[in-house]
Amino acid sequence: MTSLDTLERRFLAHVRGGQVFPREWCAQGLVDSDIGLAIYTNAYALRLREALEADHPLLALYLGDRLWAELCAGYIEAHPSQVRSLRHFGAHAPVWLTGNKPFSDHPAIGELAAFERELLDVFDAADAARVDWSVMQSFDTAAWPGVRLQFHPSVRLLATATNAVAIWRALKDGLSPPEAQRSTMPAHLLWRDVDRVSRFRAVDEVEQLALRSFLSDRQDFAIVCERLARIRAANEVPALALGLLRQWFDEGLIVSAASQDASRST
Amino acid sequence: MTDRASPARVPTPEARASGVRPWYGYGLGLRTEHFDPVLDGNPAVDWFEIISENFMVAGGKPRHYLDRIRARYPLAMHGVSLSIGSSDPFDTGYLRQLKQLVREVDPIWVSDHLCWTGNGGINSHDLLPLPYTEEAIVHVTSRIDEVQDFLGRELLIENVSTYVSFANAEMDEAAFLSEIVRRSGCRILLDVNNIYVSSRNHGFDADAYVAALPAERIWQIHLAGHSDYGDYVIDTHDHPVCEAVWELYARTLERVGPVTTMIERDDAIPPLVDLVAELGRARRIGEAARHLMPVECA
């Protein structure tokens, strides 16, 4: 007798296009077992393709039907789902695209996929109450160097070596996408605003460094200013850094600010 | 074609015995397209069913709408990834997420499917058929026990549409489902469309299937549309409920008594007002059966 595990393993292999399920293990109903098995096989590929297309609608549009089908088939084979929600099935797609031809020959494709995945993560990231600039005003001057910021859980910083975001924007607007080329801006900032609308904008190298220092490296204001002084004149840095901080607060990116050098914090 | 159900006749003994099941009325599957219409229009829907996995996210719009709709309507949680029949160990991370969502939603009940979705760590994201064997009964029953203990509540288990059955079957599907329900103490989410689809594909009598089930265990009914290809039928949830399924629904209620009912629509989703109108037909059929016997109001 076929054990449950063996039956399931062989059935799934068939559904995935691998080893054929023994026909003698099927009972003959009104529907021929070949047709029955084909229904499951077709549904498997279709469901995963639909999940990728739901997550990457503009990448699919950019690639066109033939390349999109090639991407789906290759990705589904390389990364069979190991997740419970289709929401996460395509999580490896940006990296996979950078390592598999013909997609890897065009870095904008992987970056376009990465941008769309970041938008997904922005969309359903955790909620958190934001604070405004008055929090910073409440600190003593002596406490400012020790200020560390906590960003809203939706905030993402995406390094962009190509103009993938401009391509995405054009496709979103129903326009012909520009030719893929190197990016004029090194990164893009993405976040969800207080009205739960996903937003993004390009950031220059100064803001990228400041964001990375605060956001990823968890550094304080003094360290961030030191880092900025490596790429900007030292006398420009305080105003530059203050301007960035003010903008981030105004955009609703900050959920708390605290300083090791003062008891005042939120 | 008539829009009126055949009047219920004399309730069967099974139907009389079912008077203890909770009653929540007539619901719809909550879909993203209808978030705003639900909040703006307060439609005449008694409750909504959510797909659990769609709300296993940290925040943002899905949770924002869930919280607001939950404040106005009872919600049931319906999962698609429990994989109760899989030979793989349970995904404990998934179970923890499910339990957390149950805490947050406080649903009227939690359901999933009598099927398996993956093996060897690979998830097909499809509702795959089980062999109707004693081995599968023992396996599924122990896993239902495990989940019910973990969640601290009963599960409702739904019959799925199938396109393949297995040569090693030791019983029919209704007997398989009934035995699992008897041993595990779980409840049945009876998908009338799935019975119809499978009966067409495998050539069994849909009414005999319903008659073989423990009526008092049927706590919810699903209605949905399918795609009919003549020689076979696929459960696609992209059409209105067809006439044959409405008729089977009416006969089912005559047999088992009034059951909390909802309509699922997952593709080619029409405006909410159209689904509410379609639900009206379920309501008319259900009310005709309901007046025959009292049920416990939740």
The CATH number covering residue B203 comes to 3.20.20.150
Q: What are phi and psi of A213, to 5 degrees?
A: -65, -45
- Average pLDDT along chain A, 266 residues, taken 10 residues at a time: 90 96 91 95 97 98 98 98 96 98 97 98 97 93 92 97 97 97 93 97 96 93 94 93 96 93 50
| pLDDT tens readout for residues B29-63 | 999 999 999 999 999 999 999 999 999 999 999 99
| pLDDT tens readout for residues A207-233 | 999 999 999 899 999 999 999 999 999
Write out chain A residues lying below 8 Å of B59, CB-based.
124-127, 153
Answer yes or no: is B267 within a domain: yes
Q: What are phi and psi of B140, to 5 degrees?
A: -65, -40
Substitution target in B65, B124, B143 with the highest count of A β-carbons within 10 Å is B124
End-to-end CA distance of chain B: 34
Give every strand in the sheet of A198-203, ordered side by side. A156-159, A187-192, A198-203
Chain-centre distance for alpha carbon A7: 37
Token couple for B70: 């939950």
pLDDT at B15: 46
AA identity, residue B197: V
- Residue B262 contacts residue B240 (beta carbons within 8 Å): no
Minimal Cα–Cα distance from A239 to chain B, Å?
A: 34
* DSSP annotation of A215: I
The minimal CB distance from B123 to the residues A82, A87, A123 is found for A82
Instruction: Please name the residues in contact with B186: beta carbons below 8 A apart, sequence gap of 6 or more.
Output: B144, B148, B154, B155, B156, B157, B180, B217
Give dist(CA A13, CA A6) in Å, integer.
11
| E strand intervals along chain B | 22-23, 26-29, 47-51, 75-78, 110-113, 116-119, 122-128, 155-158, 165-166, 187-191, 218-223, 227-228, 233-234, 260-263, 296-297
* DSSP annotation of B193: H
Helices and strands (DSSP H and E) totals, chain B: 10, 15
- Residue A26 contacts residue A33 (beta carbons within 8 Å): yes
Tell me: pLDDT of B191 over 90: yes
- Residue B213 contacts residue B195 (beta carbons within 8 Å): no
Tell me: pLDDT of B4 over 60: no
Answer yes or no: is B5 within a domain: no
pLDDT at A30: 85
Q: Mean of the pLDDT values across residues B231-250?
A: 95
With helix as H, strand as E and coil as C, how does A53-93 read? HHHCHHHHHHHHHHHHHHHHHHHHHHCCCCCCCHHHHHHHH
Answer yes or no: is B3 within a domain: no
Answer yes or no: is B4 within a domain: no
Domain, as residue range, for B276? 13-297
Write out chain A residues lying below 8 Å of B164, CB-based.
26, 33, 36-37, 40
| pLDDT tens readout for residues B217-235 | 999 999 999 999 999 999 9
Minimal Cα–Cα distance from B2 to chain A, Å?
A: 30
Global pTM value = 0.91
Answer yes or no: is B26 within a domain: yes
pLDDT at A29: 80
pLDDT at A262: 57
Substitution target in B125, B180, B204, B232 with the highest count of A β-carbons within 10 Å is B125
Any chain A CB within 8 A of the CB of B227?
no
Substitution target in B67, B164, B233 with the highest count of A β-carbons within 10 Å is B164
* Domains in chain A with CATH codes: 127-161+187-266 (3.90.930)
pLDDT at B241: 95
Q: Do B124 and A81 touch (CB under 8 A)?
A: yes
pLDDT at B295: 52
Token couple for A253: 């990116």
Q: What are phi and psi of B102, to 5 degrees?
A: -60, -45
| pLDDT tens readout for residues B143-165 | 999 999 999 999 999 999 999 99
Give dist(CA B38, CA B60) in Å, integer.
18
Answer yes or no: is B138 within a domain: yes
Write out chain A residues lying below 8 Å of B162, CB-based.
36
Answer yes or no: is B1 within a domain: no
Instruction: Please name the residues in contact with B22: beta carbons below 8 A apart, sequence gap of 6 or more.
Output: B108, B219, B260, B295, B296, B297, B298
Q: For A78, name the nearest residue in chain B, comparing CA atoms only.
A: B122
Answer yes or no: is B156 within a domain: yes
Q: How many domains does chain B have?
A: 1
Write out chain A residues lying below 8 Å of B128, CB-based.
8, 11-12, 15, 40
Q: Do B202 and A30 touch (CB under 8 A)?
A: yes
Any chain B CB within 8 A of the CB of A232?
no
Instruction: Please name the residues in contact with B281: beta carbons below 8 A apart, sequence gap of 6 or more.
Output: B3, B5, B241, B246
ipTM of the complex: 0.91
Instruction: Please name the residues in contact with B115: beta carbons below 8 A apart, sequence gap of 6 or more.
Output: B83, B84, B85, B127, B128, B129, B130, B160
Q: Radius of gyration (Cα) for chain A, nearest Å? A: 25
Tell me: pLDDT of B73 over 90: yes
